Amino acid sequence: MTKTWLITGTSSGLGRLLAERLLARGDTVFATLRRDGALDDLKEQYTDRLHVLTLDVTDTRATRTCIAGAFEAAGRIDVVVSNAGYGLFGAGEEVTDEQIDRQIATNLTGSIQVIRAALPHLRAEGGGRIVQVSSEGGQIAYPNFSLYHTTKWGIEGFVESVAKEVAPFGIDFVIVEPGPTSTQFGAGLDHAKPMPEYEHTPAGDVRRAIATNSFAIRGDAGKTVDAMIAAADSAHPPLRLTLGGTAYESIRAALTERLKALEAQKDIAYSADS
């Protein structure tokens, strides 16, 4: 049975590959992007089933208009994939106010508004599924990505709460948490101006690792997208979908350490009760 999908951020990376795989299997895709022409080759091949929409998710009014128009044109959309986003590379002290505002407006506020815009239409349909593309960085934190992690931890908290709110309407969520994956993510990074004070710190270590290509990237983009599609097709998908050995190992280690630290504070925690 074919499905209709709405996907944001399809110019490149996982969004583009997701659109390719879905179209190849016979589904219909409403694909949003900021850069005109990025999907012209796919549009030529899938004229009737690919609908390309120009959208910058930082424009909330445009987001609502675009998503409402897609639902109206489609008649029904089965899966909404909130994928638009990018990385901001720099220590928390190094990034500019403007970089902070843009990162939050795109990755966090933009994702929130995509979801908010889709919910009334999915309720009217009697249910549906929203896939939020996050990252292992929604559960762990690397130095030099502090603002990126801010947005990913934030959107995961938003989705976890909203998932409980809309479950009675038959709407469910999948939060996708890939580890480092071979996509064009690195090419789209926004870089802060490095401060010499951070050269010999963990932030500097991460910078050097990426600059010298010694930062391990084990994730396969094609396999990642296939797992996303399988989860979206599943009758009962997990709320969080961790993808890649690096993501599994790093998230497991972080959660284990967090639980260990919590349990060590049990007596202190209970001492604060009346």
The set of catalytic residues is 134, 148, 152
Rounded-to-integer distance, Cα 268 and Cα 274, Å: 13
In terms of DSSP H, where are the helices of the chain? 13-24, 40-45, 60-74, 97-103, 110-125, 146-166, 202-211, 221-233, 245-264, 266-271
Distances from the Cα of 235 to the Cαs of 24, 57, 128, in angstroms? 22, 29, 11
DSSP 8-state symbol, 104: I
Per-residue burial over 171-192, b = 16 or more CB atoms within 10 Å of its CB, e = otherwise = bbbbbbbbbbbebebeeeebeb
The three state secondary structure string of 63-94 is HHHHHHHHHHHHCCCCEEEECCCCCEEECCCC
Closest listed residue to residue 115, CA positions, set 160, 179, 181:
160
Per-residue exposure over 108-132, b if at least 16 CB sit within 10 Å of its own CB, e if not: bbbbbbbbebbbebbeebeebbbbb
Torsion of CA 12, 15, 21, 27, to 10 degrees: -130
